Chains A and B, each alone.
Chain A
Amino acid sequence: MGTIVEQIQGIPLNHYLIFCSVIFAIGVIGVLIRRNVIIIMMSIELMLNSVNLLLAAFSAYHGDASGQVFVFFIMALAAAEVAVGLAIVIMVYRNTKSIDIDSLNKLRW
């Protein structure tokens, strides 16, 4: 286990920041350019995961366990969110026969 800890000590925290913001930006781009609701939810999962990894990195670099507990709670929340979201997607598909997000424009104005 000591070698793994030595592994991370060579990496500046800045590189974790940059890496996680790149992944977060990819998630934002995915939400903006796709029309499939399921892929939009997958992009949201990508964003949640990048934030999780950054919290874990800060927690490991500062020796504070609270960050990793927060990541655990965020994972529980993400599971609940996906279950409810996919149930809504199934109901929308049953009513409109498509999962195009642009067909859900009744609440626009």
Chain B
Amino acid sequence: MSIFYFVAFLSIFFALMTIFTKNPVHSVLYLVITFFTFTVHYILLNAQFLAVVNFIVYMGAIMVLFLFVLMLLNLNKDTEPMKSTIVKIMGTVAGMCLLVTFLGAFRVIEVNNEAITPHANIGLVKNLGQVLFKDFLLPFELSSILLLTAMVGAVLLAKKDTNKA
């Protein structure tokens, strides 16, 4: 059980590095490491399907997209706009206030702490696939339409407007 605490510490450390690093490319790379630690968390939860999907979609597709846009726009440390110190301090204090509010709320509510896992292998691909294609068939098909729409929209938005002016 100490693996969880170690990986959780790594996640928090790399998440902090993501938002506090000046160079955007380093920031993306730290985010990749953060997502890798999340994959380890999914494996610890015995959610193997989610671990694989997280690995492929987040660490593969989304991070390549971020890196590609960063390099396409040719951004580096010198062009990075920074906020003033007072705004940074106020933002940090506001985030800490949110965290304290969360923790206070968790103290009030009663969470059932012991793990009741009658089917400990619900996260396996076979079982999750049966749930996905029996109970959630319509949302699954709708999400495919959503992805198609997003793809068409992204291509339309990023295309250069040739017949303008």
Contacts and interface: CB of A to CB of B under 8 A. Distances in A.
Given A34-B19, A46-B18, A84-B154, A72 B132 contact: yes
A11 B151 CA distance: 41
A77 to B, nearest CB: 7
Given A29-B95, A39-B24, A90 B72 contact: yes
Contact of A61 (B15, B16, B94, B117): B117
A1 B46 contact: yes
Contacts of B155: 87
A1 to B, nearest CB: 7
Contact of B122 (A26, A42, A68, A102): A68
A46 to B, nearest CB: 6
B95 to A, nearest CB: 4
Interface in A58-105: 59-66, 68-69, 71-73, 75-84, 86-91, 93-94, 98-100, 102
Interface of B: 1, 3-5, 8, 11-12, 15-16, 18-19, 24, 27-28, 31, 34-35, 38, 41-47, 49-50, 53-54, 57-58, 61-62, 65-66, 69-70, 72-73, 75, 79-83, 87-88, 90-92, 94-96, 98-99, 102-103, 106, 111-123, 127-128, 131-132, 135-136, 139, 143, 146-147, 149-151, 153-155, 157-158, 160
